[in-house]
Amino acid sequence: MPYKKIFIVIGVLLVTGILVKYSFFNQKPRQTVKGASTTEPLAIVSSDEGITPQGKFYAPILVYHHIALKRPQNSYYVSPEIFDQQMKWLKDNGYHIISFDQFYAAALGKEKIPKKPIIITFDDGLEDQFKNAFPILKKYGFTATFFIKMNNLNKGGMTWDQLKELQKAGNIIGSHSVNHDDMSKMPENQLKYESEESKRLLEQNLGTEIKYFCYPGGAYSANTILAVKNAGYLAAVTTRHKVDQEIKDGNSIYTLPRVHIDDEMPTFIDWVQGKNLY
């Protein structure tokens, strides 16, 4: 059939046109286009502009608790001296600290993030985080996300004024529930209270939307995820020890892995690079 040949010629011309448009006249030769079947490429990867993550992507979320000296060592304590060395190592080795908002937008494919991205988080709203970690973060120009355990606030934990000061400096405040109980085996009404009341209190006192949640002890179930979603949170973090993020379905953004950091440099360097993770 001659028509078949005409269609093939038209097809070849169209494909050539697309190739010419995206290859020869492209003003940014370092970009590579993936997803050739669409006229609007989904992922443009460039070393200058950063990356748009797709599927599985490297973006370690680090988790710290106390930033204070503790001897003998305890896995919930990192000394200010080691914390400073860890932050310095990230800076010296070309890592980029991004905010949780940037990470969230990137995970949904809406924003590019720099290569070697790192997200820093602190759990429990402990006062030594404000006194010891905050000055070190500022020294390196870094910001972090602080997940606040509400029953700790003003009672050995941080104060509202300290939270406001963190926020003013560009840090993000998230919720870590009211009572810090295991949320994997809670009745529905209690799940609702823990997720909604903490959000309400934080929003009322800080005047900003509280978008991110952290499961106490990293424990969650399908019901926990549902309660956190229904409360209006956009994402939630766990303590699954991984450096790679993978957004596969609607629950992935509510079960984000994090790397629990110890009071040591060698393990820190390994873990940040995804080596020898437990």
CA separation, residue 92 to residues 85, 87, 138, 141 (Å): 10, 9, 16, 13
For the chain, list the strands marked E by DSSP: 32-34, 43-45, 56-58, 61-64, 66-67, 77-78, 96-97, 117-123, 145-148, 172-175, 212-214, 235-237, 244-246, 259-260
Q: Is 123 in the site for Zn ion (CB under 5 A)?
A: yes
The distance of closest approach from Cβ of residue 180 to Zn ion in the complex, given in angstroms and rounded to an integer, is 6
Span interacting with Zn ion, options 17-25, 31-39, 100-108, 122-130, rule CB under 5 A: 122-130
Which residue's CB comes closest to Zn ion?
123
CA quadruple 173, 174, 177, 179: dihedral positive or negative? negative
What residues numbered 39-78 form the site for Zn ion, per CB under 5 A?
none
* 51 vs 158, beta carbon nearer Zn ion: 158
> Who contacts 28 (Cβ-Cβ below 8 Å, separation ≥6)?
46
* Phi and psi based region of residue 207 (left: phi greater than 0; alpha: psi -120 to 50; beta: remaining): left
* 124 vs 263, beta carbon nearer Zn ion: 124
Span interacting with Zn ion, options 34-42, 49-57, 115-123, 166-174, rule CB under 5 A: 115-123
Span interacting with Zn ion, options 48-56, 70-78, 121-129, 167-175, rule CB under 5 A: 121-129
DSSP state at residue 125: T
The contact pattern for Zn ion, residues 215-234, with x = CB under 5 A and - = no contact, is --------------------
Span interacting with Zn ion, options 56-64, 116-124, 157-165, 205-213, rule CB under 5 A: 116-124
Amino acid, res. 47: S
* 53 vs 157, beta carbon nearer Zn ion: 157
* 124 vs 196, beta carbon nearer Zn ion: 124
CA separation, residue 229 to residues 17, 110, 148 (Å): 45, 20, 18
Residue of 157, 128, 115 lying closest to 64 (CA atoms): 128
* 124 vs 262, beta carbon nearer Zn ion: 124
Q: Is 124 in the site for Zn ion (CB under 5 A)?
A: yes
Residue of 159, 171, 104, 164 lying closest to 133 (CA atoms): 171
* 31 vs 154, beta carbon nearer Zn ion: 154
Please count the residues of this chain forming the interface with Zn ion, following the rule CB under 5 A: 2
Q: Is 194 in the site for Zn ion (CB under 5 A)?
A: no
* 66 vs 229, beta carbon nearer Zn ion: 66
The distance of closest approach from Cβ of residue 216 to Zn ion in the complex, given in angstroms and rounded to an integer, is 5
Q: Are 167 and 100 in contact (CB under 8 A)?
A: no
Where on the chain is the footprint of Zn ion (CB under 5 A)? 123-124
